[in-house]
Amino acid sequence: MSFLDKFFKRENMGLEDFMKSSDVEEIDAVHEKADFYVKPISLAQEDDLKIVEKELRDKNVVLLSIAPMLKNPHKLKQVVQTLNMEIRKMNGDVAMISEDKMILTPANVKIVKKKKAL
């Protein structure tokens, strides 16, 4: 049993399955309300931008999966450009994590994009 399985008491559930599970919102890992959250969101259609923008205005960090839109690169490019403009307006930041995942931060939270040599 991995650390996450023990921590979340979920046997036979990998991290990806956990993130996709319908009850993620109900799990409170630290038993206290937080000021801000890191929220996974899937960008399946242009209307999902409203959800992302709301979360950023609420000062939450968004882990955005763009996998559903990879089938339509032209639409994806438009949506990402719109998203970039909105993030710049609110003084947030954005970076790619992988080919299909991005991290978006709210106002005054910046992402260090270069690795420092130790």
Q: 3-state DSSP call for residue 65?
A: strand
Separation between Cα atoms, residue 60 and residue 116, nearest integer Å: 26
pLDDT in tens, 74-118: 999 999 999 999 999 999 999 999 999 999 999 999 999 887 766
Separation between Cα atoms, residue 40 and residue 19, nearest integer Å: 7
Separation between Cα atoms, residue 104 and residue 83, nearest integer Å: 10
pTM of the model: 0.70
**Residue for token digits 């049993």?**
1
**What local confidence, expressed as pLDDT, does residue 115 receive?**
76
Which domains are present in the chain?
A: 1-33 (no CATH), 35-112 (3.30.110.150)
The two beta strands, 61-65 and 93-98, are unpaired
Greater model confidence, 27 or 82: 82
